[in-house]
Structure 1
């Protein structure tokens, strides 16, 4: 692509859990943030990517444009950057990409149906990141590009779970309008409304009265 490494300044969820700020049994509002928890992992991934790119420049293994483009889409979705998300999609980025730097394929084979046991469920998709960020514009753009609204990651969390957890009501509405399933259960047998922020629940309860 002739791009700089700016797009690789942050990792793409390399261990399947680092990007999720999900509650644990003893979770408190003072718990460490995602940035505190995974700075070492992200730094290690970034150094690894730089090493591979350097190798490519010397004629070794090459990181494809497709990998970089999918990684770029994830980062823009995580940031809530509508322009970046749109440009990446227009260039052909895959809406269901999760960990493009470490997982293959980058896209499914044309005309091939999934067999139900593909390993691509590890990590978060762009729409999950955008929902967690609370970017309704990015969510709508991804839905327009036919992103899978009910995709789940390895713990069974969907975009609607993430939106509810963060109290992003507009995002929840946009997802539900596009047939997000409010009955989806994660591995802890929690539906999206079960993980909703307490303040969000109170607000919703007040509107229902």
Structure 2
């Protein structure tokens, strides 16, 4: 099933998308949630999304998954005040995989996706060429360990521990107060994408990538 060029709105405590034993593709979709889950996955579900805009309207909003052999693959997307909560029940391969690439997250108290114990080889959580930003005084990746997420070319606006594949820097958004996550020309994200597993020829706005020597990190490609 494919949903394209749409607005998905859920009432308070509702879920915009709930998947089990099926595949859904979201393309250029705005999702506005309540105070619990904007999207939920269960066993044998696959969610693929590009140019997804997830906007919180209440506290504790999450993209959540719980089960076995579920798959999330997201590119060129932005998440505002929306956490990612992942619970796995896989006991062997083939396992669960979750990948966010060329995306931008802002969550005031930090993203929980990389929190947890060492994962077996058949479960893969990864963040590639993305920006994760939190409010002042919070780690961008909450209680993260190098054993949980594979990070590649990712910028964190603050982090108290060293995480391979990430660097700590101010991403220099145009205006966080208005949720404008476009990059200033001096942003360390410009021309900073690393070699990863995802190749994309456009950004969240549909602008072509790259505009410079290399693609930019995050959902937006800077263009003069």
* TM-score normalised according to structure 2 size: 0.29
* TM-score normalised according to structure 1 size: 0.30
Larger relative contact order (C-alpha < 8 A, sep ≥ 6)? 1
Structure ID, larger Rg = 1
Between Structure 1 and Structure 2, the one with more helix by share is 1
